[in-house]
Structure 1
Amino acid sequence: MTLQIADLNELIETIDGLLARKDLVALTEQLTPLTTSDIVDVLERLNLRERAIIHRLLSKDRALEVFEMLPPALQSDLLTGLQDADVSTLFAELDPDDRLWLLDEVPAVLAARLLRGLPEKERLLTAGLLGYKQGSVGRRMTPEFVTTHIGMTAAESIDRVRARLKDAETVYTIPVLDDSRHVAGVVSLRDLLGEDPDALVETFMQPVYTAEATDEAEKVARMCTDLRLLALPIVDSESRLLGMLTIDDAVRILEHEESEDAARQGGSEPLNRPYLSTPVVTLVRSRVVWLLVLAVGATLTVQVLSAFEATLAEVTVLALFVPLLIGTGGNTGNQAATTVTRSLALGDVRPRDILLVLSRELRTGALLGMLLGLIGFGIAGIVFSPEIGLVIGLTLLAICTVAAAVGGAMPLVARAIHVDPAVFSNPFITTFVDATGLIIYFVIAHAILHL
């Protein structure tokens, strides 16, 4: 059973004390009854040196299980604290596709050394995956799988599965190949076990979905999960089988991409590691660039305010509503951007749908603006004057309409120019809506208040 948070915190305090006293015997006794996931939770809360000590105290099999469950960033950290022999063993025991996750994290010098230390067969399998570009599903597929042939029987196919049980990453979905190594269909292990042993595979194989190795990993992972597939055959441009994307790797890809999008929509870079094991310097580095970008963008807002300084001096009450208006505009734009970015990831919309999205967001923004504008008109009209209420109401209507349209369009524009929508949308929306919203505000104020 996995430890509860309170029990885990108490265990961490005990382990910290034992590490401080260098009582390795007692420390081993503490680790022995823990599950693999509990040990991973512990390691995620320790520093690099302590993590290496704990890992060395584990049995060989347990150490490998724990290492495989760690995020790639922590795997990279751990390698720097282990002896060369330990590093080579752990790296060699990983599946080829899992090695790619780790190699993407470690420095190039260490990556080359790790590859050189692999047995020749494993090195060739891993190097084959490295040949695909970053972000492609070719880097995430496993080259260790079982196949059968259209001319084989169910019994012969089961024998092939038995022969590959130790080294194949997946045996539950089995591609059926023709003489040219094209994927003709798939059979499941359940199908093989349930059919007559002498039945030819081609008589009961199922239609197959495939993806090309050069396709975007996130897109293929989404396809795999949407179709509820345990594994998806990955082929070359001529439909010859190259590997398999398993469901656990598909989920891992989606988790990684969604964590990245969530971080960037919140104005920071993804950590790619548990929060408590992330150095403060890394936290600062992940946020400072975005803060600088937004600070530079805010200078445009300052310029707009300075241009209407005389208006603010004449009707000082207008200044009270500036935070409300630009905040509402930014929130409206970010809501639209988040919705459309998510729809892009799911394949619900494409860049060519920009006019349809604009139409929907203009109407959505206008309705939101009317609702908020009526509330703003009522409150400001009662507290200050009907004219001020009218300025606030009309400004909210205009800002919400513009912000929703811009927020909905930006992710589609970003995807069209091959930029991450999560990176492009929010800083642009914040800067654009703040400055544009103030211009709209003061133009409406000038017209209604005759300034």
Structure 2
Amino acid sequence: MSQNPMSPTGEAARDQAVRAIEKALRGADLATLTAAVRALAPMQVVDVLERLDDKDRAVVYRLLPKDRAMEVFENLDPSLQRDLLGALQDDDVTALFADLDPDDRVELLDELPATVARRLMQGLPAHEREMTAGILGYPQGSIGRRMSPEFVAVDRSWTVEHALDRVRRRLEDAETVYSLPVTDGHRVLVGMVSLRELMKAEPDTEVSTIMQPANWARATDDSEEVARRCADLKLLALPVVDNETRIVGILTVDDALQILEHADSEDQARIGGTEPLRQPYLTTPVGSLVRSRVVWLLVLAIGATLTVQVLEVFETTLSEVVALALFVPLLIGTGGNTGNQAATTVTRALALGDVGPRDIAKVLARELRVGISLGLLLGTVAFVVTGFVYDWPLGTVIGLTLLSVCTMAATVGGAMPLVARTIRADPAVFSNPFITTFVDATGLLLYFLIARAVLGI
């Protein structure tokens, strides 16, 4: 039974390996270091390299056998690949770059200075340079930048025997052979056929008789949307075509999942009010961590001045009924949490394609009902508890405020991600931090207006 690398046991084993390697590095014990590194699986080596500084990372990487070194390098984040290249010799760099798949090569090029990228491109064989340049020609964020041009296509007029022979000859350089695009004589995509179906069919069967209709994406389509489609349809490979439906590449399921993982990390960071990190946490400089957070903190601090202004306007009301001040944290906290819950739920539904901007009326209606239900439940509890502890008029104020705040927060929180998508902004940016600031100020305004009306102050 395989061990889950994320389990406590797996983490303990990784930490133990890191300590052993760091000890060998400090003691310059090359024999022990080599044995420790080569005893690890490739993905375990990746975990270790993500926890070392640049110098030690290069030393450890050089101790790997050539075949394992390539696999480890392919699984590093592009930012760490860039740092590692900076610490290696020129010959090592050229060989590593040439051995990468074209799509992985483009990701790395985006991280490198233009002069270095140009030099590495010039050192590629002509065929590899042509494939890489083709991918670089597509817009940033498009699936054309993430597809692999190394695929096996079969012609619909071929026999199964001919198709299988083509697959065998391309086993070494193809990205995948389990799901094969079917084309006509002009490279136009006409269908898909699985390797299983080819192997089941008689050798003289024509490919066109066993192929299936193809799902495909245009090379200029958004990479996250295409990756989501690939995952939702549970496809091993999704063909990518140009404007004339000629096949130019494929997106494999592992690349699709990597795109979705990266997009999810970005969303989670922005929902929390930070910019996403471009490399693993332990290798990110402290200055970069500060920069990823300080801008959002400044924006939110400026937004929070609205809350201060509301308190200043109702200073007289607070001085007349001092107990009102005791409930301010409860009310703004509940409102912020309610808005964040709604925003997070709708943002996730947007990412999964469950809702879109056209559904804003339906989302508003649902969140309005949810907000009223939550407000009634929480407001009733607050009314009873506050009434017994303080007095019933104050309990009425707190109960009505919770009803109003929950209704407003859920409705606004549900609408903001859809508004963001409509204006082509990132829905995650419009979520928790901004909603919290908005709901704090608006909730306090509702609170004091209700208090004035109920208490007659």
Match of 1:22 among 13, 28, 42: 28
Q: Of 390, 397, 400, which aligns to 2:396? A: 390
CA distance in 1, matches of 2:307, 2:256: 43
Between stretches 179-188 and 136-145, larger displacement belongs to 179-188
Deviation at 1:252, TM superposition (A): 0.5
Q: Normalising by the residue count of structure 2, what TM-score does the alignment of the two structures yield?
A: 0.96
Q: Deviations over 1:145-179 (max 9, x none)?
A: 00111110000001111111111111111111112
Deviates more, 1:362-371 or 1:108-117: 108-117
CA pair 112-426 structure 1, distance change in 2 beyond 3 A:
farther
Note the C-alpha offset of 1:339.
Answer: 0.7
Mapped to 1, the partners of 2:331 and 2:361 lie a distance apart of 27
Asked if the contact 2:189/2:245 (under 8 Å) is kept, the reply is yes
Which amino acid in 1 is paired with 2:405? I
Q: Distance in 1 between matches of 2:229 and 2:440?
A: 38
AA in 1 matched with 2:57: R
What residue ranges of structure 2 are gaps of 5+ in the alignment? none
The TM-score normalised by the length of structure 1 is 0.97
Asked whether the 8 Å contact 1:293–1:427 carries over to 2, the reply is: no
Measured after TM superposition, the shift of residue 77 of structure 1 is 1.7
**Following TM superposition, by how much is the alpha carbon of 1:334 offset from its aligned partner in structure 2, in angstroms?**
0.8
Deviations along 1:297-344, one digit per CA (max 9) or x if unpaired, are 111111111111111111111111111111111111111111111111
Name the counterpart of 2:212: 206
The residue number in structure 2 matching 1:70 is 76
1:24-59 Cα deviation digits (max 9, x unpaired) = 222112212221122111111111111011011112
* Aligned residue in 2 for 1:13: 19
Look up the equivalent residue of 2:377 and give its one-letter code.
L
Partner letter of residue 220 of structure 1?
V
Find the aligned partners of 1:237 and 1:11 in 2 and give their Cα distance: 50
CA shift for structure 1 position 423: 1.2
Tell me what 1:313 maps to. 319
2:309 corresponds to 1:303: yes
Hey, what's the Cα distance between the residues in 1 that align with 2:166 and 2:319? Answer: 84
Contact 1:72 1:105 in 2 (8 A): yes
* Distance verdict in 2 for CA 1:373–1:109, change over 3 Å: farther
Query: What is the rounded CA distance, in whole Å, between the counterparts of 1:78 and 1:264 in structure 2?
Result: 28
SS of the counterpart of 1:364?
helix
For the 8 Å contact 1:146–1:174, the answer to whether it is kept is: yes
Q: Counterparts of 1:27 and 1:381 in 2: how far apart (Å)? A: 69
- Secondary structure of residue in 2 paired with 1:121: helix
Q: What residue identity is the alignment partner of 2:206?
A: L
Q: 2:328 aligns with which of 305, 318, 322?
A: 322
1:219 equivalent in structure 2: 225
Which range moved further: 271-280 or 243-252? 271-280
Instruction: After TM superposition, give the deviation of residue 111 of structure 1 in Å.
Output: 2.6
Matches within 5 A, 1:16-95: 16-95=22-101
Partner of 2:148: 142
Match in the other structure for 1:175: 181
Give the partner amino acid of 1:53.
V
2:272 maps to which residue? 266
* Residue type at the aligned position of 1:61: D
SS in structure 1 at match of 2:80: helix
Pairwise CA RMSD: 1.3
Structure 1 residue aligned with 2:369 = 363
| Alpha-carbon distance in 1 for matches of 2:370, 2:401 | 16
1:98 to 99, 104, 109: 104
1:192-226 Cα offsets, whole Å, 9 max, x none, are 11100000000111111111111111111111111
- Amino acid across the alignment from 2:283: S
Cα deviation, residue 112, structure 1: 2.7
**Quick check: 1:376 aligned with 2:382?**
yes
Shift of 1:275: 2.0
SS in 2 for 1:421: coil
Percent identity for Structure 1 against Structure 2: 63
Q: Which runs of 4+ in 1 moved over 6 A?
A: none
Distance in 2 of aligned mates of 1:24 and 1:200: 59
Q: Say if 1:414 and 1:425, in contact at 8 Å, map to a contact too.
A: no
Question: Deviation at 1:84?
Answer: 1.5
- How far 1:10 moved relative to its partner? 2.3
- Please say if residues 221 and 251 of structure 1, whose CA atoms lie closer than 8 Å, have aligned partners that are also in contact: yes
Query: What is the count of residue pairs matched by the alignment?
Result: 451
The one-letter code sitting in structure 1 at the alignment partner of 2:53 is N
Deviates more, 1:171-180 or 1:223-232: 171-180
SS at match of 2:431: helix
Kept in 1, the 8 Å contact 2:335–2:439? The answer is yes
Structure 1 position 448, deviation (Å): 0.4
1:418 is matched by which residue type in structure 2? Answer: R
1:69, distance to aligned residue in structure 2 (A)? 1.3
Structure 1, unaligned runs of 5 or more: none
Cα displacement (A) at 1:108: 3.3
Q: Is the 8 A contact 2:272 2:433 kept in 1?
A: no
Structure 1 residues 179-258: aligned runs within 5 Å: 179-258=185-264
Return the offset for 1:380.
1.2
Q: CA deviation at 1:6?
A: 2.2
* More displaced 10-residue stretch of structure 1: 290-299 or 102-111: 102-111
**Structure 1 counterpart of 2:127, from 121, 124, 137:** 121
